[in-house]
């Protein structure tokens, strides 16, 4: 199938760019002690997760229990659910998954440990946990040091299988590198490493010390004591990440059809926010100099054209729009067309 024959709106991934990202990140971690545990939410495609594992990732990180279910049901044996879950219903699903795969879940609250342990006993399985530590994002997580140790002890006392700790420094992912930012990233990693040392000194296991994302992978990934990096965006890359110094290529576009024009200065595409997230700002058109998105409605994108630079855009023409925020855009689609040299080579199913 040629790209022009794909019905629109459709999500496309440039295979050359994506494979270059896959190999570049894998190459960075190949000879290091620290490994990659890529985040699933970026692409939600089990086939791409498998490619990441084939290229050396030690497991897959995810954000929801549903994502963990998808991964396990696609045969992935090492999953880190880097987020808190609360409720017996969820603990029961987790317990059932733990029968078939290692699914390590983040915890940050004493209150849920007893419930989790009860479900574990009732289902006769071992639930694996990491203590989630807040290293400055101010989202989930306990404070580093003694509070982290206290929670690890409580989890172990309840009979849960304590695997280690994690802390996501999301506040630094979209900051361009600078001596100040790098210092803060190192500080966050040190807080994790010191917490891990405390936990081990108390006689508890702590083999996982997980952190980082695409923007900090090359920095946290070389700090001794950090075991793995949860980078997600590097694989598909979105234009939000460009210019922040991450050496990856953007690969993700939405293919859209021009459904209406007025004069030489106005065109309308059939991709609104139901196909292209507008959450982090308006996207740019690929390879159409002189034309830009002016607004995105539910099912329409309005294009403003400078007729001095850009020839008239005719109804029926198909255009590609760069994806600004990959996580939120991928989530709107059920498949992603892998494209090379204008041909569809592979279709990746996006699981929900």
Ligand X SMILES: Cc1ncc(COP(=O)(O)O)c(C=O)c1O
Tell me which residues touch ligand X (CB under 6 A). 39, 42, 61, 82, 168, 170, 173, 213-215, 230-233
Helix axis angle, 65-73 relative to 46-54, nearest 10°? Answer: 70
Which residues are 139's β-sheet partners? none
Chain CA centroid to CA 234, Å:
8
Min separation Cβ 36 and ligand X, Å: 10
Min separation Cβ 147 and ligand X, Å: 19
How is the chain split among helix, strand and coil, in percent rounded to 5?
A: 35, 25, 40
Min separation Cβ 106 and ligand X, Å: 8
Tokens (6 digits) for 327: 């996580």
CB 91 within 8 Å of CB 116: yes
Based on CB atoms, which residue is closest to ligand X, 14 or 134?
134
Based on CB atoms, which residue is closest to ligand X, 159 or 170?
170
Element holding 146 (H helix, E strand) = helix 146-157
Min separation Cβ 168 and ligand X, Å: 4
CA distance 278 to 289: 21
Q: Buried b vs exposed e over 209-220: b needs ≥16 C-beta within 10 Å?
A: bbbbbbbbbbbb
Based on CB atoms, which residue is closest to ligand X, 32 or 126?
32
Which residues are 293's β-sheet partners? 303
Min separation Cβ 213 and ligand X, Å: 3
Based on CB atoms, which residue is closest to ligand X, 59 or 232?
232
Based on CB atoms, which residue is closest to ligand X, 214 or 329?
214
Which residue has the closest beta carbon to ligand X?
A: 213
Based on CB atoms, which residue is closest to ligand X, 230 or 283?
230
SS3 260: strand
Based on CB atoms, which residue is closest to ligand X, 213 or 221?
213
Based on CB atoms, which residue is closest to ligand X, 218 or 253?
218
Q: Tell me whether residue 228 is exposed, middle or buried, using C-beta atoms within 10 angstroms of its C-beta: 0 to 12, 13 to 18, 19 or more.
A: buried
Read off the DSSP letter of residue 138: -
Min separation Cβ 343 and ligand X, Å: 29
CA distance 136 to 126: 31
Tokens (6 digits) for 216: 């900090």
CA distance 290 to 287: 9
Min separation Cβ 126 and ligand X, Å: 23
Min separation Cβ 234 and ligand X, Å: 6
CB 345 within 8 Å of CB 15: yes
């Amino acid at each position: 199938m040629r790209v022009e024959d794909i019905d629109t709106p459709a999500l496309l991934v440039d295979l050359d760019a994506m494979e270059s990202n896959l190999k570049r990140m894998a190459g960075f971690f190949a000879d290091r002690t620290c490994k990659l545990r890529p985040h699933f939410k970026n692409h939600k495609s089990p086939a791409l997760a498998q490619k990441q594992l084939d290229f050396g990732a030690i497991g897959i990180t995810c954000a929801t229990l549903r994502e963990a279910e998808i991964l396990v049901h696609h045969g992935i044996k090492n999953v880190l659910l880097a987020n808190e879950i609360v409720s017996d219903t969820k603990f029961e699903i987790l317990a059932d998954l733990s029968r078939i795969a290692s699914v390590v879940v983040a915890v940050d609250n004493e209150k849920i440990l007893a419930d989790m342990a009860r479900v574990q006993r009732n289902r006769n399985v071992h639930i694996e946990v990491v203590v989630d530590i807040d290293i400055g994002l101010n989202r989930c997580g306990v404070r580093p040091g003694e509070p982290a140790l206290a929670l690890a002890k409580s989890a172990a006392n309840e009979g849960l299988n304590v695997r280690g700790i994690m802390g996501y420094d999301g506040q630094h992912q979209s900051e361009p590198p600078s001596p100040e930012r790098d210092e803060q990233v190192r500080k966050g990693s040190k807080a994790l490493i010191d917490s891990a040392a405390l936990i081990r000194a108390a006689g508890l296991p702590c083999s996982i010390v997980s952190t980082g994302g695409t923007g900090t992978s090359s920095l946290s990934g070389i700090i001794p004591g950090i075991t793995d990096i949860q980078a997600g965006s590097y694989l598909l890359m979105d234009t939000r990440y460009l210019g922040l110094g991450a050496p990856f290529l953007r690969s993700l576009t939405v293919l859209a059809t021009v459904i209406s024009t007025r004069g030489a200065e106005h065109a309308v595409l059939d991709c609104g926010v139901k196909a292209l997230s507008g959450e982090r700002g308006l996207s740019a058109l690929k390879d159409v100099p002189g034309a830009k998105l002016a607004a995105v409605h539910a099912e329409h994108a309005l294009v403003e054209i400078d007729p001095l630079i850009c020839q008239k855009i005719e109804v029926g023409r198909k255009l590609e729009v760069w994806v600004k925020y990959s996580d939120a855009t991928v989530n709107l689609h059920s498949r992603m067309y892998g494209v090379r040299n204008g041909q569809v080579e592979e279709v990746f199913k996006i699981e929900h």
